[in-house]
């Protein structure tokens, strides 16, 4: 009987936790997973899903002459179809042979190592996807404002918030036409990222031709004008040109426009918040606010706290103790003019989005799971010589796209100043 390979042990451990993977993924504590997976869209091919939209009401109203007058013709409701193409995402995790040596190959130790890698990997994968949720659908994770050796200083927003150390990135020119990494045949990996103070990232390789105004996109994209996850800035957009879910925005300039308040680089004020909220109310009805959330970066939550009209988060630490029933009032109830706040370290630091998540959904083509080939989920790595390398690899993969059936059901404030100290 051949000796049991470490890959087999790892695979065995992964199988034990396989049913937990969706649970790890779906916990609704980040914006991506707060958007529900929805089945009310029609799958038309392996890649496309159709989302019927009622774009104009039907019927012709008017008065008529009952004394033999012509009542005229009618009309029906006008529909159009938005199309959603799920994108495949993967997260690769490698375990080296050292794990086996370091743990003496005992099953329990390998089990612990496998569990740890699954939990850590899922945390990182969710963070990656949540970062993509902040973007405009083109995979751009940041814009370079200056290059100094292997250090990029990044433009706010997003600064260095959407990358993480160890991530493979690609650099495109500002028009998203030239992939500098492919042109120079180099791979660029993030070494360090400071999303709070300096907004700088360091990388191992800078492809030739990289200049300020270039943009960083995630690994796996290719060609000009790449398409990635349709994030907040894709759906919450007041543009009247271009396309939205394959619909021409120019055909429905009002319906597809999200109300916007331009803060003009000023600090967040209650007036700006009310302006944004009222735009939704005017468009959709005065009482149409029940499901809105105010989604923002921690910086803008801090700006709101600085106004001194809300209960600071640290009240929980500074308060009189957890036994008090009144403390319940403060559990997750911080609001912005009555709209519940959801903040994130990944969100655009200069923006506040009011989202009605009941109009958002995830079109899922493949549920989250381990990537599998003929029943195998763990694969050996081959060295440059063609021989076996001392490590194993497994993947999470999923295919989905995010859609909204009513861009007008939200609003946003942009070009906000960040509070001092950032």
Partner 1 sequence: MLAARSLVLHLLYFLYLIYLISSIGMIQVIREKHDTPENVARRLSLAGGVNRYGEPNYRVVWGWNRLGWIGGKFEDRDAAGNLLREVVELRWEPKYPQVNRWHVERWVPPEAYGSPATWYSQTIERAGGKSVAALGPYPDRGEYEHCFTLQGPRGEFLQLTPTIVAYVAHAIEWSRGQGSAKQRAGLYEREEREDRAYEQWAYDLMDDSVPAMHGLPFVTVK
104: contact with partner 1 by CB under 8 A: no
CB 162 within 8 A of CB 215: no
* Pick 27 or 90: Cβ nearer partner 1: 27
CA distances 152 to 20, 69, 110, 285, 410, Å, are 39, 74, 39, 46, 34
Q: Where are the alpha helices (DSSP H) in 78-224?
A: 97-102, 107-132, 180-184
* Pick 308 or 387: Cβ nearer partner 1: 308
* Pick 60 or 108: Cβ nearer partner 1: 108
DSSP 326-383: GGGGGSS--EETTEEEEEESSS-TT-EEEEEGGGEEEEEEEEEEE--BTTB--EEEE-
The interface mask with partner 1, positions 53-92, x = CB under 8 A, is ----x-----------------------------------
**Closest CB 342 distance from partner 1, rounded Å:** 12
* Pick 100 or 117: Cβ nearer partner 1: 117
Pick one of 68, 308, 323, 375: the residue that binds partner 1 (CB under 8 A): 308
C-alpha to C-alpha distance for 128 and 341, rounded to whole angstroms? 22
Scanning residues 333 to 352, which ones bind partner 1 (CB under 8 A)? 333, 335, 337-339, 343, 345
Scanning residues 135 to 194, which ones bind partner 1 (CB under 8 A)? none
The interface mask with partner 1, positions 402-421, x = CB under 8 A, is -----------------xxx
271: contact with partner 1 by CB under 8 A: yes
301: contact with partner 1 by CB under 8 A: yes
**Closest CB 179 distance from partner 1, rounded Å:** 32
Pick one of 43, 50, 97, 274: the residue that binds partner 1 (CB under 8 A): 274
Closest CA to 390 of 100, 76, 33: 100
Both tokens of 138, joined, read 């083109």
380: contact with partner 1 by CB under 8 A: no
C-alpha to C-alpha distance for 310 and 336, rounded to whole angstroms? 8
CB 128 within 8 A of CB 203: no
Phi first, then psi, for residue 105 (nearest 5°) are: 70, 10
């Amino acid at each position: 009987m051949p000796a049991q390979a470490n890959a087999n042990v790892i695979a065995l451990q992964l199988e034990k936790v396989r049913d937990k993977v969706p649970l790890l993924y779906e916990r609704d504590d980040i914006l991506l997973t707060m958007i529900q997976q929805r089945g009310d869209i029609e799958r038309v091919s392996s890649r496309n899903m159709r989302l019927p939209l009622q774009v104009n009401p039907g019927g012709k109203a008017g008065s008529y002459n009952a004394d033999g007058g012509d009542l005229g013709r009618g009309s029906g409701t006008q529909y159009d179809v938005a199309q959603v193409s799920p994108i495949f995402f993967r997260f690769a995790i490698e375990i080296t042979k050292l794990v086996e040596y370091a743990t003496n190959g005992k099953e329990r130790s390998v089990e612990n190592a496998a569990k740890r890698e699954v939990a850590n990997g899922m945390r990182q994968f969710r963070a990656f996807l949540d970062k993509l949720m902040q973007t405009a659908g083109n995979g751009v994770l940041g814009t370079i404002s200056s290059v100094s050796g292997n250090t990029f200083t990044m433009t706010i927003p997003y600064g260095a918030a959407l990358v993480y150390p160890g991530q493979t990135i690609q650099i495109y020119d500002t028009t998203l036409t030239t992939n500098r990494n492919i042109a120079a045949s180099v791979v660029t990996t993030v070494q360090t990222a400071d999303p709070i103070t300096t907004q700088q990232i360091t990388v191992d390789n800078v492809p030739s031709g990289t200049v300020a105004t270039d943009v960083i996109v995630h690994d796996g994209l290719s060609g000009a004008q790449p398409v990635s996850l349709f994030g907040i800035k894709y759906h919450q957009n007041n543009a009247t040109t271009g396309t939205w879910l394959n619909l021409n925005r120019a055909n429905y300039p009002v319906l597809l426009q999200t109300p916007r308040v331009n803060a003009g680089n000023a600090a967040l004020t209650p007036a700006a918040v009310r302006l944004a909220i009222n735009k939704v109310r005017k468009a959709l009805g005065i009482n149409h606010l029940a499901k809105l959330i105010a989604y923002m970066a921690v910086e803008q939550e801090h700006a709101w706290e600085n106004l001194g009209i809300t209960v600071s988060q640290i009240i929980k630490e500074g308060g009189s103790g957890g036994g008090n029933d009144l403390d319940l009032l403060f559990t997750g109830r911080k609001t912005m003019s009555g709209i519940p706040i959801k903040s994130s370290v990944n969100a655009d630091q200069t923006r506040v989005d009011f989202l009605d998540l009941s109009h958002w959904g995830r079109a899922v083509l493949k549920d989250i799971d381990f990537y599998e080939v003929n029943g195998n989920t763990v694969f050996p790595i081959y060295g440059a010589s063609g021989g076996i390398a001392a490590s194993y690899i497994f993947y999470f993969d999923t295919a989905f796209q995010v859609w909204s059936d009513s861009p007008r059901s939200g609003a946003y404030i942009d070009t906000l100043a960040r509070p001092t100290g950032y």
